[in-house]
Structure 1
Amino acid sequence: MLFTLFSLACVSLSFGRLIERDLHPEWTALNIPVDLAEPVQVRLALRQRNVAKLLSFVDTVTDPSSDKFGKFMSNEAVRELVSPPVEDVNRVTEWVHRVNPDATVDTSRGDVVVVDTTVGGASALLSAEFAHYHHPTTGKMLTRTMRVSIPDELDDVVELVHNVMELFEGRRQQSSIPAVPSKEKRQNSNNNDAGYVIPEVLRKALYAIPDDDYRDVSAKSSVVVVEFQGVPSYSPSDNKMFDTQTGEVDTKVTKVVGPPPGESGGEEALDIQYMAAMALNSSLWYWTETNWLLEFAQDFNAQSDAPYSVSISWGWYSTGQCDINCNGMTAKQYIQRAEVEFAKAVARGTSFFASSGDQGAPGDENAYCSDSSISDIYPGTSHYFTSVGATMFSGDVSGDATSAATDYPNSPICHGGTYTCAPAPQTEVACSYPQSLITTGGGTSAMLEMPDWQKSAVDGYMNSGVTLPTSSAGYFPKNRWFPDVAANGHGYLIALNGEMEQVDGTSCSSPVWAGIAALLNGRRFAQGKGPIGFLNKVLYAAPSTVFTDITEGNNNCTESCCGTGFQATTGWDPVTGLGTPNFPALASYIDSLP
Structure 2
Amino acid sequence: MWANSLVVLLPLVVYVLARPSPDCEHKVKEQLGAPPRGWTIHGPAPADHSIQLRIALPQPNFGVLEEHLYAVSDPVHERYGQHLSKEEVEELVAPHPESVDAVTEWLASHGIQEESIGRSPAGDWFNIRVPVSVAEEMLNTKYHVWQHADGDFLVRTTAYSLPAVVFDHVELIQPTTMFGRFKALKSTIHSVHKANAPIPSANSPPIVDAATGVTVDASCNSTITVTCLKELYNAVGVTPSAHVGNSVGITGYLEQFANRADLQAFFEDQVPAAAAAKSTFKFISVNGGLDSQNASDAGVEANLDTQFAFGLTFPAASTFYSTAGEPPFIPDIGTPTDTNEPYAQWLDFVLSHPSPPLVISTSYGDDEQTVPESFAKRACAGFAQLGARGVTLTASSGDGGVGDGDPDPATQQCITNDGTNRTAFIPGFPASCPFITAVGGTFLVPETAVPFSGGGFSNFFARPSYQDAAVEGFLNKLPKGTFAGLFNPNGRAIPDVSAQSVNFRVFVAGEPNLVAGTSASSPAFAGFIGLLNDGRLKKGLPPLGFVNPLLYSKAASGFNDITTGNNPGCGTEGFNATKGWDAVTGLGTPNFGKLLKLVT
Asked if Structure 1 and Structure 2 have the same fold, meaning a TM-score greater than 0.5 normalized by the shorter chain, the answer is: yes
Deviation of 1:490 after TM superposition, in Å, equals 0.8
Q: Give percent identity, aligned residues only.
A: 29
Structure 1 residue corresponding to 2:99, chosen from 88, 91, 112: 88
Q: Sort the Cα spacing of 1:478 and 1:212 in 2 relative to 1 into closer, same or farther, 3 A.
A: closer
Deviation of 1:119 after TM superposition, in Å, equals 4.1
Q: Is the 8 A contact 1:264 1:496 kept in 2?
A: yes
Structure 1 residue corresponding to 2:246, chosen from 217, 221, 230: 221
Q: Is the 8 A contact 1:374 1:472 kept in 2?
A: no
Secondary structure of 2:289's match? Answer: coil
Deviation of 1:157 after TM superposition, in Å, equals 0.4
Number of positions where the alignment pairs a residue of Structure 1 with one of Structure 2? 519
Q: Sort the Cα spacing of 1:283 and 1:120 in 2 relative to 1 into closer, same or farther, 3 A.
A: same
Counterpart in 2 of 1:578? Answer: 587
Taking the aligned partners of 1:56 and 1:239, their CA distance within structure 2 comes to 41
Taking the aligned partners of 2:144 and 2:220, their CA distance within structure 1 comes to 52
Q: Does 1:156 align with 2:142?
A: no
Residue correspondence of structure 1 range 12-161 to structure 2 within 5 A = 12-18=22-28, 19-21=30-32, 23-31=35-43, 34=46, 36=48, 39-101=50-112, 104-107=116-119, 108-135=121-148, 137=150, 140-161=152-173
Q: Which amino acid aligns with 2:318?
A: S
Taking the aligned partners of 1:93 and 1:240, their CA distance within structure 2 comes to 50
Q: Sort the Cα spacing of 1:469 and 1:369 in 2 relative to 1 into closer, same or farther, 3 A.
A: farther
Counterpart in 2 of 1:416? Answer: none
Q: Is the 8 A contact 1:309 1:517 kept in 2?
A: yes
Q: TM-score, normalised by structure 2?
A: 0.78
Deviation of 1:33 after TM superposition, in Å, equals 7.3
Deviation of 1:145 after TM superposition, in Å, equals 4.5
Q: Sort the Cα spacing of 1:72 and 1:364 in 2 relative to 1 into closer, same or farther, 3 A.
A: same
Q: Sort the Cα spacing of 1:573 and 1:130 in 2 relative to 1 into closer, same or farther, 3 A.
A: closer
Q: Which amino acid aligns with 2:563?
A: T
Across the aligned residues of Structure 1 and Structure 2, the Cα RMSD in angstroms comes to 3.2
Secondary structure of 1:274's match? Answer: helix
Taking the aligned partners of 2:54 and 2:220, their CA distance within structure 1 comes to 50
Deviation of 1:475 after TM superposition, in Å, equals 2.8
Deviation of 1:468 after TM superposition, in Å, equals 6.7
Structure 1 residue corresponding to 2:442, chosen from 391, 397, 406: 391
Compare 574-583 and 336-345 and name the one that shifted more. Answer: 336-345
Taking the aligned partners of 1:469 and 1:358, their CA distance within structure 2 comes to 25
Counterpart in 1 of 2:291? Answer: 261
Taking the aligned partners of 1:128 and 1:466, their CA distance within structure 2 comes to 47
- Deviations along 1:93-152, one digit per CA (max 9) or x if unpaired, are 232233224661123432111113444544444445444444463x54444445443222
Deviation of 1:541 after TM superposition, in Å, equals 1.5
Compare 111-120 and 66-75 and name the one that shifted more. Answer: 111-120
Q: Sort the Cα spacing of 1:367 and 1:215 in 2 relative to 1 into closer, same or farther, 3 A.
A: farther
Structure 2 residue corresponding to 1:443, chosen from 450, 456, 459: 456
Q: Is the 8 A contact 1:387 1:484 kept in 2?
A: yes
Counterpart in 1 of 2:334? Answer: none
Q: Sort the Cα spacing of 1:163 and 1:451 in 2 relative to 1 into closer, same or farther, 3 A.
A: same
Q: Sort the Cα spacing of 1:145 and 1:442 in 2 relative to 1 into closer, same or farther, 3 A.
A: closer
Q: Sort the Cα spacing of 1:347 and 1:148 in 2 relative to 1 into closer, same or farther, 3 A.
A: same
Q: Does 1:303 align with 2:353?
A: yes
Counterpart in 1 of 2:450? Answer: 431
Q: Is the 8 A contact 2:75 2:554 kept in 1?
A: no
Taking the aligned partners of 1:150 and 1:523, their CA distance within structure 2 comes to 52
Q: Which amino acid aligns with 1:450?
A: R
Taking the aligned partners of 1:289 and 1:385, their CA distance within structure 2 comes to 22
Q: Sort the Cα spacing of 1:460 and 1:115 in 2 relative to 1 into closer, same or farther, 3 A.
A: same
Residue correspondence of structure 1 range 64-463 to structure 2 within 5 A = 64-101=75-112, 104-107=116-119, 108-135=121-148, 137=150, 140-167=152-179, 168=181, 169-181=184-196, 194-203=221-230, 205-210=231-236, 213-217=239-243, 220-228=245-253, 230-247=254-271, 249=274, 250-257=279-286, 258-262=288-292, 263-280=297-314, 281-288=316-323, 290=325, 291-292=340-341, 293-318=343-368, 320=369, 323-324=370-371, 326=372, 331=373, 333-364=374-405, 368=411, 373-394=424-445, 427-432=446-451, 439-462=452-475
Counterpart in 2 of 1:532? Answer: 544
Compare 87-96 and 233-242 and name the one that shifted more. Answer: 233-242
Q: Which amino acid aligns with 1:207?
A: Y
Secondary structure of 2:290's match? Answer: coil
Q: Sort the Cα spacing of 1:313 and 1:43 in 2 relative to 1 into closer, same or farther, 3 A.
A: same
Q: Sort the Cα spacing of 1:567 and 1:143 in 2 relative to 1 into closer, same or farther, 3 A.
A: closer
Q: Sort the Cα spacing of 1:505 and 1:163 in 2 relative to 1 into closer, same or farther, 3 A.
A: same
Taking the aligned partners of 2:145 and 2:358, their CA distance within structure 1 comes to 38
Q: Which amino acid aligns with 2:266?
A: F
Q: Is the 8 A contact 1:362 1:564 kept in 2?
A: no
Q: Sort the Cα spacing of 1:119 and 1:450 in 2 relative to 1 into closer, same or farther, 3 A.
A: closer
- Deviations along 1:250-270, one digit per CA (max 9) or x if unpaired, are 332342324212223322222
Q: Is the 8 A contact 2:22 2:163 kept in 1?
A: no
- Deviations along 1:51-83, one digit per CA (max 9) or x if unpaired, are 222222222221101101111211211221222
Deviation of 1:45 after TM superposition, in Å, equals 0.4
Deviation of 1:317 after TM superposition, in Å, equals 3.4
Deviation of 1:39 after TM superposition, in Å, equals 4.1
Secondary structure of 2:582's match? Answer: coil
Taking the aligned partners of 2:483 and 2:308, their CA distance within structure 1 comes to 40
Compare 269-278 and 58-67 and name the one that shifted more. Answer: 269-278
- Return 5+ residue gaps in structure 2 as ranges: 1-20, 202-218, 326-339, 415-422
Secondary structure of 2:545's match? Answer: coil
Counterpart in 1 of 2:598? Answer: 589
Q: Which amino acid aligns with 1:197?
A: I
Taking the aligned partners of 1:31 and 1:540, their CA distance within structure 2 comes to 50
Taking the aligned partners of 1:110 and 1:48, their CA distance within structure 2 comes to 10
- Return 5+ residue gaps in structure 1 as ranges: 1-10, 184-191, 395-426, 433-438
Q: Is the 8 A contact 1:485 1:579 kept in 2?
A: yes
Compare 24-33 and 93-102 and name the one that shifted more. Answer: 24-33
Q: TM-score, normalised by structure 1?
A: 0.79
